[in-house]
Structure 1
């Protein structure tokens, strides 16, 4: 489906009342925001490139430098940004060796999609589509059918998965083409709606430990002449959220990840390619009022807002009827240069959500979209107490969040 025509403009009315704004920095132009490399170097381009190289019909290679292989494995490490990896060579010697290796490995960054958050990224990885098509454009977004905020990671409140994301996954297409498709992950994720809409197809194999997953992923690669295997590790992301990417806990998890990648790489069967990537990077945000702007305590930002969606660094703002233009003006003035603040149509036209936005997805995007530029958050201390207390955060368009590794090992 093509991008819909924008709805009729709301009545502009009078500006939201408030103090003079001349003491705020000038709003940051939407056009200055970097846009993910959809179609040539984003997470959405990885699996279609690999599957096309295996002869799966209907898919085309988008990442030119990836040579075809009969057996492909994607190991997605939640929260491992390109910049964070490059800053920690001592904790990740094996991964660091793949950044620019002369022994069969290559390394380059991909961009996550917008927002750089797990539900959106996993859907882009699994479907090979940008967010404007697959329809998971944020951590929480408004369901136009009910008017409620829907958490797309936890899938709450319940929404029928098929209509929400109707496109087939690359694994389903590969399986239909005779490729052995398999996912190796925690048993917790086997029957979740997010897995169903983003990663289903072929067989699912649940294993509790990272070591078990690496061993089984290697076995699944060797199970057929053509194989497409996906495996996943979440604990690095959890450490970043709780303690930050500057913490000893996060560095310890990175050391574990490094050993897991090497364990899998050393078991690759012949004619295999292993690709290590991630869903987003992460930014540590200081705990003070300057860096954590509390929506629940800021009457200017609340004025005219019906629902606050997204997450701290990538907000979807849903206005009460008739107030969208006033909310946009207020958010731009209050946030100044700390955020890129766009209307829905401006964000779509700029390509934040991909080259097209399907009609069913259009109203899931906020009337106002705010993406952090600095190390700041828009928290909601009362509505989102757990999320507001996180040290490490992600979601926006900055390199620290958007750039994720694409590391290759071939056998």
Structure 2
């Protein structure tokens, strides 16, 4: 039998179940990643669909750095002097945090950025979620098993809408992402260019920005996230990557053509989860957590739990008790009603069945891993997905010419 640590042993204030109504909710509609591109295109004269207001610019570049949370950047300002100069407290810094979606994970956030929609509308509601039609878990980052991308996410992207409105739209990224399903349903519209070297991406993004009087360009960097996952946020490897991100951002900023705005943002932050039994609840070895569960979705910090028929209530009660003080645990309908996946009225019928019967958002530095069925994910040091500020808050930094 697995022996569970108390919440007090893991640094929580009180080992009693947390109330899901107290969980932070992304600022959908006013200050989330889903609002960024709609706010940009409103500056081009396109219909405004968000309460987020950004000063208009003729040419806009969005540089998304995978895994660069606001709190981690704030706590390591000395490693990133250029980015730090764009943050509050600096002479000209006007940057601010915005929220990722829930879960705060790459597939969900990139879909929100590209479509301008919350997860409940676009449908990518986690790292791994149930495909109700097939009855299996679908990994939405790796797109495994295969399903028709446009059945899974049928909405147009903001890039497509901008292109149709006469704005020059372009994406510049690693060539390996060009034909992925996630790119097809979130980051297409206009032209695509692949460059392997990050420096080449920055140079090309700047050139693309100057190719039209009105332009929207997107570029992306993934390696900071990878180092955070493998080595943790305080590792030399992660610190070196943050220094490189800073240099890349400055390189891009220094090449911006006139009448341009550069927005630097991220898809999520990250927390380090100690490699201890006390911090890592192993679903595969835990008879309490696994009882009544048909499929375990999501990831270590944000779980979709799918119960066998008739067991959802018991599964909710057990997970709430086992993770008391360490997680917000909500039944599906409560999580939807609380706005975790966007305004409740915008959660599409085709999406509801993808959400777990029980939805779990971890707090502190704990995670629910699955060492046998998810060995690679369970070995990660840095994790994300939940609602803590370290995971949810991402930068929105601005450079203008």
The TM-score normalised by the length of structure 2 is: 0.95
Please say if residues 115 and 157 of structure 2, whose CA atoms lie closer than 8 Å, have aligned partners that are also in contact: yes
Q: Are residue 337 (structure 1) and residue 337 (structure 2) matched?
A: no
Q: Are residue 179 (structure 1) and residue 164 (structure 2) matched?
A: no
Displacement of 1:59 in angstroms is 3.6
Please say if residues 85 and 91 of structure 2, whose CA atoms lie closer than 8 Å, have aligned partners that are also in contact: no
Displacement of 1:135 in angstroms is 0.1
> Which among 192, 215, 220 is matched to residue 203 of structure 2?
215
Aligned to 1:63: 52
Q: Tell me, what secondary structure is at the counterpart of 2:385?
A: coil
Q: Tell me, what secondary structure is at the counterpart of 1:98?
A: coil
Distance in 2 (CA, whole Å) between partners of 1:266 and 1:102 is: 19
> Which among 305, 310, 316 is matched to residue 317 of structure 1?
305
> Which among 102, 119, 125 is matched to residue 114 of structure 1?
102
Per-residue CA deviation, residues 264-315 of structure 1 (Å, 9 max, x unaligned), is 0000001000000000000001011110000000000000000000000000
Distance in 2 (CA, whole Å) between partners of 1:62 and 1:186 is: 32
1:241-390 mapped onto 2 (5 Å cutoff): 241-355=229-343, 356-390=346-380
* Number of corresponding residues: 391
Q: Tell me, what secondary structure is at the counterpart of 2:78?
A: coil
Displacement of 1:351 in angstroms is 0.4
Q: Are residue 28 (structure 1) and residue 18 (structure 2) matched?
A: yes
Per-residue CA deviation, residues 122-149 of structure 1 (Å, 9 max, x unaligned), is 0000000000000000000000000000
Q: Tell me, what secondary structure is at the counterpart of 2:145?
A: coil
Aligned to 1:398: 388
Distance in 1 (CA, whole Å) between partners of 2:38 and 2:384 is: 25
Displacement of 1:52 in angstroms is 1.2
Aligned to 1:224: 212
Which runs of 5 or more structure 1 residues have no equivalent in the other structure?
1-18
Aligned to 1:96: 84
Distance in 2 (CA, whole Å) between partners of 1:61 and 1:69 is: 17
Displacement of 1:55 in angstroms is 1.7
Q: Tell me, what secondary structure is at the counterpart of 1:201?
A: coil
1:113-262 mapped onto 2 (5 Å cutoff): 113-262=101-250
Distance in 1 (CA, whole Å) between partners of 2:17 and 2:331 is: 13
Distance in 2 (CA, whole Å) between partners of 1:49 and 1:228 is: 12
Report the CA distance shift for 1:70/1:104 in structure 2 as closer, same or farther (over 3 A): farther
- Root-mean-square deviation over aligned CA pairs: 1.7
Aligned to 1:16: none
Distance in 1 (CA, whole Å) between partners of 2:92 and 2:174 is: 30
Report the CA distance shift for 1:33/1:116 in structure 2 as closer, same or farther (over 3 A): same
Please say if residues 115 and 395 of structure 1, whose CA atoms lie closer than 8 Å, have aligned partners that are also in contact: yes
Displacement of 1:102 in angstroms is 6.8
Displacement of 1:183 in angstroms is 0.4
Distance in 2 (CA, whole Å) between partners of 1:124 and 1:182 is: 18
Distance in 2 (CA, whole Å) between partners of 1:378 and 1:310 is: 10
Please say if residues 42 and 111 of structure 1, whose CA atoms lie closer than 8 Å, have aligned partners that are also in contact: yes
Q: Tell me, what secondary structure is at the counterpart of 1:136?
A: coil
The TM-score normalised by the length of structure 1 is: 0.93
Per-residue CA deviation, residues 223-252 of structure 1 (Å, 9 max, x unaligned), is 000000000000000000000011010000
Q: Tell me, what secondary structure is at the counterpart of 1:345?
A: helix
Displacement of 1:61 in angstroms is 4.4
Report the CA distance shift for 1:105/1:268 in structure 2 as closer, same or farther (over 3 A): farther
Please say if residues 104 and 409 of structure 1, whose CA atoms lie closer than 8 Å, have aligned partners that are also in contact: no
Distance in 1 (CA, whole Å) between partners of 2:104 and 2:306 is: 20
